[in-house]
Structure 1
Amino acid sequence: MSSLSRHHASQFGLPSRRRRTSTIVDEGCSPDREILARTPTMDDPDGNFIDDGHRRDFSVQYGGEEASTSQEKRNSTSDSSIDGWSELYLDIMVRVLSELSVQDIASCARICQNWYKSTQHDLVWKNIFARDFKIDTRARRKNIQDDERFSTWKSEYKRLTYEVPLIQVQLIRDHRDEVLHVSFSHDGRMFSTCSKDGFVKCWDVTEFPYRRKFQSNMKSNFAWKYTQYSVFNSSDTLLLVSGVHFGPLSTSGELVVFSTQDDFSVQCKVRNKPYDIFGSWLNDDHLFSGNLHWVTGVDSCCSLWISKASQELESERVAVMRRAYKFLNVNGSSLRTLLVACPKDGPEDETLMIFSTGSQTYIPHQIGIKKLKKATIPFPGTTVHRTLREAMDEHDREMENAEAGQPPPIQYDTVDHVFELSAQIIGLCLSPDQRYLFANCRSWPQDVRITDPFVPPPISSQIEIRCYDLLTLKEAPHIYRAHRAFTPSEECFFIFVDVSEDFVASGAEDSKGYIWDRHHNITLSSLQHQSVVNSVAFCPADQETLVTVSDDYTIRVWFSRRKCQEMGMKYQGQKICGVDKSVQCAVDKADTELAGTVGESFHPCSDYP
């Protein structure tokens, strides 16, 4: 560079070009380390990777101590210009890198040390996070950054792309009709599926691929129309299965409890009406069922019964079931989707009974909560003091009073709290700690007026997942949207939702399942099926495993990218290599399609700089 060029360079604060000093290469140094040693850094504008000791030795060699002192003075006077250049350089790199894909950023990180440092800057990942997950407001970015789980934008981006179960690893075709529900055991070692083919099936999750462990044909064994719902008790020793009786207009169903410890033997069978109460565990040994009878033309009474799960004949004078609660239903409504919760950090002596109900129409549009004191729950099993003659005499007296125009007063239980959704409720579930309630619903038009309880208002095709805090009894601010449904409000249908520690998942009628981040309200992925996705379930022991079931007769298992890499699976897109969709279903043998060894693998974690 000429003296004039050097003059202009110093005037504008730019480093002048100097002769490169020779670099001594260690013979034991690898080629990569040699290149890294020659890489320019932000702290050395000359491009020489020389520490202070070597710089002092060179200065003494070429001019003694005086030359070393003058060199240090020149370095100190140019610090401000170098810092300004570094800041400008970093700002430009952040702007450029923020426009690239993650794969391109990974390539940039391998170029040199300066570029690697730039790719690690958290502002780069903040911009990429906002771009890829469509975080378009400063308030939402601040809420994410203020979350107690937040560490860096890069780690958060990696979690939401690498630890989400969105890779299909197994396709099971074992049901011959629409699969309606799936649920995991609490220890994550089994899951069960229910279908319109009348079967309930249990699957072993201890080894991959997952294999069928138990099954029962409820059509032939109990004359059911189909199985619709199942849930394990807290110790995972029993499985409650809910089904529907035959008949085009039948609203009656049954609950059957199976043992998972032996050969799937039946422990008890209980009537359940209406069938969409589904049934629920009160504790490890007792369950809730329902019974419905009409009081007037549009009002009815729903009785909830507590039954022992194992109805062995201990004594003919010991009851195995007992009517516990009675609720008045108005305008054609009834109790549906019964759940029992013991919220974390809630009162230890209190249990919450949760159900969907209504007051304006027969379509469920409210969530009712009844607080139960554990000490006063009327469990069955107390000695029956009345003889049969005494019971018949009491019945005769009630009939005589009714004929004389003095019907006995009916004492109904009260509901402690009601959430009004102004929407049709199509699914309920609890968070793992049972503090939060999540509701799948389809909204009514705003300010709608209902004049006929048997003519419900139209409902939106957009499904919403709303969240409610069971301790404060208030609605949480998060609403999860992306999935859709098309069934009219006059028809009964359910789209089940499930929640893990960090994720929310739901089925939909647009042939997809959906996953959201629970804390940031971000839609993470859609899971493709060939028809309506009725139910989803996270593995409680590993939220990076998800199972979905659909009207396309299939059960699909999904792993995260991280889990696929740990298990040595190669995948392309959202499927591992080797998954075949042409396998025919088989009733007596589970056909599973597993990963092959061909195809290219793509692991995002290895591409993170």
Structure 2
Amino acid sequence: MENDWENLTDPILLNIFSLLGQHELNIASKTCKNWYRVAQDESLWKGLAFKTVGSRFTLSNVSWKSELKRLVYHTPVHLHQTCAEHEDEVYNVCFSNSGQFIATCGLDGHVKVWKFGETTELLHSRKVVDPPSYVNYVEFNESETHLLLNCMTGDDGWTSCLLAVLSLEKDFAVVAARHAWFPNFRGTWLNDNTFLNADVLAYFFSNDNVKLVACEFDDHDLVDPELLERPLQDHLSDNNVDMRCILEIRRFEYRPHFAKVIDWSEWNQDSAAKRNEDSEEANIKVIILYQQSLEWNVDCRIAFFKVDVDSEVPSTAEPIKIVIVNSGCLGVNLSSDHRSITYNLRTIYEDGDRSWYDREVATMVINLANLEEKPEIFSGIRSLEQSSSLLYFFPNISPDYIVSGSEEYYAVLWDRRLKLILSKLSHQLPDPDAQNGVSAVAFHPRDQEVVVSVADDCKLRIWMSSNRKRQMQSS
């Protein structure tokens, strides 16, 4: 009988091995040298890869076995922990630069900071505004000492937007706050103690220039416990914020929405001309600005502005690059290495006096290291209905994966190499008829095998690969 097994030809062994799963095939390969040799045949692992993903795809310069291992063991599709400290819908989530902390915010007016680990724990919580006001955006500064917030405040049908800064070193106190003209601008960090705001000097619907303002704050003198307990609104009149206009933009056609900032040294890194330029311009930034058209029949655009943030004279230069998108923007995020930026977009349609956003959502990736590349488009998300307004949900990007929220109860995870949906990360409510959108997602900045998501179910959910879960449990 042993001789019969030893005498099986390669085609017969391949046919038998093709019926095995990945685990069984690995066990069979340990039987003898001959079986090990046959078990390494790429056709076997190619078939298993197709079964795992549920679709056929092509590979270049990668073995099917290693690709299957990545898809099975290194993709963050397993729910590791659910955190349920929020009392209402959660609108945004982000990691700190080191990946040690997670920040969340939402409809309950709370901002929370969590310590990430095998068991993620709540560190700080503050109710910044009272409902119906809410917080819909959070972002750590680079040194992880402060949080930038976007707050929607108001009642009786009137809503205003505020940008505020919380200190993680001063008992989670509000240390600065300023009005913002454009609710969807949301603000972003220029450096550790300076954030970017958008302003206009006249009435909101005028054609005055939009001014992008660097707001530098100083909280070193804020040591009085009573001052640290002051509510957000009381900080609007403080003089501890130095505001300087760094960029003026003509406002005849566009208003500013989502903004991100990268250093000039990170811009278009694959360009030979760029590599030959002076790399010591630390004060030069590229402001990446999604600009919403004021008219439905004018294309919206993503504009890239080169700005000297230390200049006393604001820049009025035209964008150094423009990407036209006839779409409304639902959310944007930079990759942790600042080499890619990704947008969720819904195409705008017009028919006579009627205009609307298409149901299809395109997740678009722009390679900032080489702007000559055509943007990548990932599909698979649909809004619940055609509409004349937008619901916001944010994407995120890592070297191998893209993940995005949606208007439904799940986040969508794509593989960037294969251009395929790998999984839908569920936030299903107990009531199957309840609407439960996933508002935002974020990869760990130093570990793409960890991703977090927040949704209308009031939960923060942490997803990991099987490889990362096993490592955490063993440590």
Q: How would you bin the TM-score normalised by the shorter chain?
A: 0.7 to 0.9
Structure 1 stretches lacking a partner, 5+ long: 1-19, 21-34, 46-85, 380-410, 570-609
Asked if 1:485 corresponds to 2:383, the answer is yes
Deviations 1:467-490 (CA, angstroms, capped at 9, x unpaired): 112244345453222222225442
2:258 paired residue among 324, 327, 337 = 337
Distance in 2 between the 1:356 and 1:364 partners? 11
Asked if 1:457 corresponds to 2:362, the answer is no
| Aligned pairs for 1:33-48 within 5 A | 41=6, 45=7
2:327 paired residue among 409, 417, 423 = 423
| C-alpha displacement of 1:225 | 0.5
Tell me the SS of whatever aligns to 1:282. Answer: strand
RMSD over aligned CA atoms reads 3.2
Q: Structure 1's 296 and 555: CA in aligned 2 closer, same or farther, altered over 3 A?
A: closer
| Aligned pairs for 1:333-482 within 5 A | 333-342=254-263, 343=266, 345=269, 348=279, 349=281, 350-359=284-293, 361=295, 365-373=300-308, 376=311, 414-444=318-348, 449=350, 456-459=355-358, 461-476=359-374, 478-482=376-380
Instruction: Report the AA paired with residue 255 of structure 2.
Output: S
Instruction: Report the AA paired with residue 151 of structure 2.
Output: G
The number of aligned residues is 438
Q: What corresponds to 1:573 in structure 2?
A: none
| C-alpha displacement of 1:171 | 1.3
Distance in 2 between the 1:296 and 1:481 partners? 35
Q: What corresponds to 1:209 in structure 2?
A: 119
Instruction: Report the AA paired with residue 418 of structure 1.
Output: I
Asked if 1:549 corresponds to 2:454, the answer is yes
Q: What corresponds to 2:419 in structure 1?
A: 521
Distance in 2 between the 1:415 and 1:153 partners? 44
| C-alpha displacement of 1:357 | 1.1
Q: Structure 1's 556 and 317: CA in aligned 2 closer, same or farther, altered over 3 A?
A: closer
Deviations 1:342-375 (CA, angstroms, capped at 9, x unpaired): 3263663342101111336369832111112456
Is the 1:336–1:355 Cα contact (8 Å) retained in structure 2? Answer: yes
Q: Structure 1's 478 and 412: CA in aligned 2 closer, same or farther, altered over 3 A?
A: closer
Q: Structure 1's 533 and 377: CA in aligned 2 closer, same or farther, altered over 3 A?
A: farther
Instruction: Report the AA paired with residue 60 of structure 2.
Output: Q
| Aligned pairs for 1:114-129 within 5 A | 114-129=34-49
Distance in 2 between the 1:436 and 1:358 partners? 21
Tell me the SS of whatever aligns to 1:490. Answer: coil
Instruction: Report the AA paired with residue 353 of structure 1.
Output: I
Tell me the SS of whatever aligns to 2:144. Answer: coil
Distance in 2 between the 1:224 and 1:293 partners? 28
Which range moved further: 123-132 or 283-292? Answer: 123-132
| C-alpha displacement of 1:126 | 2.4
Which range moved further: 102-111 or 191-200? Answer: 102-111
Distance in 1 between the 2:366 and 2:166 partners? 32
Distance in 2 between the 1:458 and 1:422 partners? 10
Is the 1:498–1:504 Cα contact (8 Å) retained in structure 2? Answer: yes
Is the 2:299–2:325 Cα contact (8 Å) retained in structure 1? Answer: no
Larger Rg: 1
2:444 paired residue among 539, 545, 569 = 539
Distance in 1 between the 2:452 and 2:299 partners? 27
Is the 2:92–2:440 Cα contact (8 Å) retained in structure 1? Answer: yes
1:219 paired residue among 113, 129, 133 = 129
Q: Structure 1's 341 and 39: CA in aligned 2 closer, same or farther, altered over 3 A?
A: farther
Instruction: Report the AA paired with residue 539 of structure 1.
Output: H
Which range moved further: 244-253 or 529-538? Answer: 244-253
Instruction: Report the AA paired with residue 414 of structure 2.
Output: W
More strand by share: 2
| C-alpha displacement of 1:302 | 2.4
| Aligned pairs for 1:240-389 within 5 A | 240-247=148-155, 249-250=157-158, 252-292=160-200, 299=207, 301-310=209-218, 320-330=242-252, 333-342=254-263, 343=266, 345=269, 348=279, 349=281, 350-359=284-293, 361=295, 365-373=300-308, 376=311
Q: Structure 1's 90 and 464: CA in aligned 2 closer, same or farther, altered over 3 A?
A: farther
Is the 2:118–2:472 Cα contact (8 Å) retained in structure 1? Answer: no
Q: Structure 1's 374 and 301: CA in aligned 2 closer, same or farther, altered over 3 A?
A: closer
Tell me the SS of whatever aligns to 1:275. Answer: coil
Instruction: Report the AA paired with residue 322 of structure 1.
Output: R
Is the 1:193–1:201 Cα contact (8 Å) retained in structure 2? Answer: yes
Instruction: Report the AA paired with residue 347 of structure 2.
Output: S
1:170 paired residue among 81, 90, 102 = 81
Instruction: Report the AA paired with residue 292 of structure 2.
Output: G
| Aligned pairs for 1:140-155 within 5 A | 141=58, 144-146=59-61, 150=62, 152-155=63-66
Deviations 1:54-112 (CA, angstroms, capped at 9, x unpaired): xxxxxxxxxxxxxxxxxxxxxxxxxxxxxxxx8xx334544554455434534644666
Give the % identical residues. Answer: 25
Is the 1:282–1:340 Cα contact (8 Å) retained in structure 2? Answer: yes
Asked if 1:566 corresponds to 2:471, the answer is yes
Distance in 2 between the 1:318 and 1:268 partners? 7
Is the 2:339–2:368 Cα contact (8 Å) retained in structure 1? Answer: yes
Q: Structure 1's 295 and 514: CA in aligned 2 closer, same or farther, altered over 3 A?
A: same
Asked if 1:102 corresponds to 2:22, the answer is yes
Distance in 1 between the 2:219 and 2:126 partners? 20
Which range moved further: 170-179 or 295-304? Answer: 295-304
TM-score, normalised to structure 1, is 0.65
Which range moved further: 464-473 or 238-247? Answer: 464-473
Asked if 1:90 corresponds to 2:1, the answer is no
| C-alpha displacement of 1:213 | 0.7
Instruction: Report the AA paired with residue 293 of structure 2.
Output: S
Instruction: Report the AA paired with residue 527 of structure 1.
Output: L
Distance in 2 between the 1:321 and 1:435 partners? 29
Q: Structure 1's 341 and 450: CA in aligned 2 closer, same or farther, altered over 3 A?
A: farther
| C-alpha displacement of 1:413 | 5.1
